[in-house]
Amino acid sequence: MTSSIFTLSRIPFGLGSQKELYQRDQVPEEFKELFILRGYRSPRSSPRQCFYSIFNATNETFNFWTHFLPALYFLWRLVDMWPEMDFFGPDGRFTQPVLALMVNVILFLFMSAIAHTFNAMSDKARHVCFFLDYLAVSLYCIGAAASYKSYCIPHGLVHSSVMTLYIPVAMINSTFSVMLACQTRFMDHGIRKKLIRFVSFSWPFVWDQIPLFQRLLSCETAQCQGGGASFLWKQNIFATLSAFLYTSHMPERFSPGSFDIIGHSHQLFHIFSVLGTYAQLEGVLLDLQVNREAMMAQGGLNYDQVDNYALVRVAAVTTINAIVVIYFSLRIYRTPSPPPCTNPASVANGYIHKDGVRPISGIPQSESLLLSKPNVNASRRTSKKVE
Ligand SMILES: [Zn+2]
């Protein structure tokens, strides 16, 4: 009976150590993804199993690669542009905002790849992985705001009252974003949780874009319509598409089970967000180049519009947001674990939630016993069963 329950879906072309995967009704609620029916890793995977799973066909594999490979690309771009940009040379103040943007882009892509790789180690590790992911995403909007202010906004807006608030509000948004996103991991599944998390990511992005909307929609000057304008349009189109995919869960919504490994909405969300980031970077670099050439033609670089403290701001917000993430991580690890399971009648315990314990529906009884004991032996026994 038990062995038949433990029949796991086998994905034949796995290269790593975790070749046998779980179906949706075999993993705890917290690990389930909407409309994804198979390809789940063991919720008690070891770090080694998690690492090798990136070479297997799991429902997380392409989530990893769709951010890891672009991270390498942007890292290469940064190394390639370093000599020309001379970030810490005499004119470094002029180019440092784009360095802040690139570092944050690379960081959020790498952090996302890491979170998608190691989130199957335990329920608590899953939360912490995504806290770190949210941290990196929250920092990204600071680098973007610094770059927009320095190179992309219409010259007529530079000394407006909105622009005096622009960067400080972007910094507050960043911390607000990571706090709200982390808090959603303590909420019950549902539309409210999804909506709040969406707002936590989208509002900082929208705030960053406000002066760009002014430029793209209502400014007719050569500066506004030239330079990186077409790339900044594309960025907003890709961002809208990625937001749509994130919230709609399409295409898997229409055919649950058909896109479990390749083609589900989170992978497409990753791809479109990378395309948006690429367009954003190209737009910012083009604007930087146009501004620099115009200034040099007039006698030299002008730092009037440049955010001179971009790197300092990023460092300050990183520190504050890291403290927020440490707070939420401690909160997760202080949440009482389910009691050791000695009575088969109480095996419907399982994993950590804000209330301490939540039932695991659909988990075979013996597997629930393993999941309920967060100790080394339990992990080994679970791993053995999966390998
Ligand atoms: Zn992701």
Enter the DSSP assignment of 343: -
User: Any idea how long the chain is?
Assistant: 387
Distance from the CA of 231 to the center of ligand 1, in angstroms? 24
Predicted confidence at residue 305, as pLDDT, reads 83
Distance from the CA of 116 to the center of ligand 1, in angstroms? 7
Q: Is 262 helix (H, G, I), strand (E, B) or coil?
A: coil
Spans of the chain below 50 pLDDT: 1-17, 338-387
Question: What tens digit of pLDDT does each residue of 149-161 get?
Answer: 999 998 888 888 8
Distance from the CA of 322 to the center of ligand 1, in angstroms? 19
Task: Look up residue 332 and give its two tokens.
Answer: 């997760």
**Alpha-carbon distance 160 to 44, whole Å?**
54
Distance from the CA of 221 to the center of ligand 1, in angstroms? 38
DSSP assignments along 111-177, one per residue: HHHHHHHHTTS-HHHHHHHHHHHHHHHHHHHHHHHHHIIIIIS-GGGTTSHHHHHHHHHHHHHHHHH
Helix axes 265-297, 229-248, angle to 10 degrees: 160
Other residues' Cβ atoms within 10 Å of the Cβ of residue 332: 20
Question: What tens digit of pLDDT does each residue of 54-111 get?
Answer: 999 999 999 999 999 999 999 999 999 999 999 999 889 999 999 999 999 999 999 9
Q: Are 355 and 365 in contact (CB under 8 A)?
A: no
Q: Are 187 and 29 in contact (CB under 8 A)?
A: no
Instruction: Quickly tell me which residue has 């949210």 as its tokens.
Output: 134
Predicted confidence at residue 337, as pLDDT, reads 57
Distance from the CA of 266 to the center of ligand 1, in angstroms? 6
Domains of the chain: 2-56+336-386 (no CATH), 61-334 (1.20.1070)
**Alpha-carbon distance 85 to 78, whole Å?**
9
Helices (H), 30-87: 47-53, 61-85
Distance in angstroms between the alpha carbons of the first and the last residue of the chain: 20
Distance from the CA of 66 to the center of ligand 1, in angstroms? 9
Distance from the CA of 319 to the center of ligand 1, in angstroms? 23
Q: Is 382 helix (H, G, I), strand (E, B) or coil?
A: helix
Distance from the CA of 71 to the center of ligand 1, in angstroms? 13
Other residues' Cβ atoms within 10 Å of the Cβ of residue 8: 17
Q: What percent of the chain clears pLDDT 70, i.e. is strictly above it?
A: 82
Distance from the CA of 113 to the center of ligand 1, in angstroms? 8
Distance from the CA of 18 to the center of ligand 1, in angstroms? 21
Distance from the CA of 83 to the center of ligand 1, in angstroms? 32
Predicted confidence at residue 29, as pLDDT, reads 87
Predicted confidence at residue 19, as pLDDT, reads 57
Cα angle at 168 between 167 and 173, to 5 degrees?
Answer: 95
**Alpha-carbon distance 133 to 114, whole Å?**
8
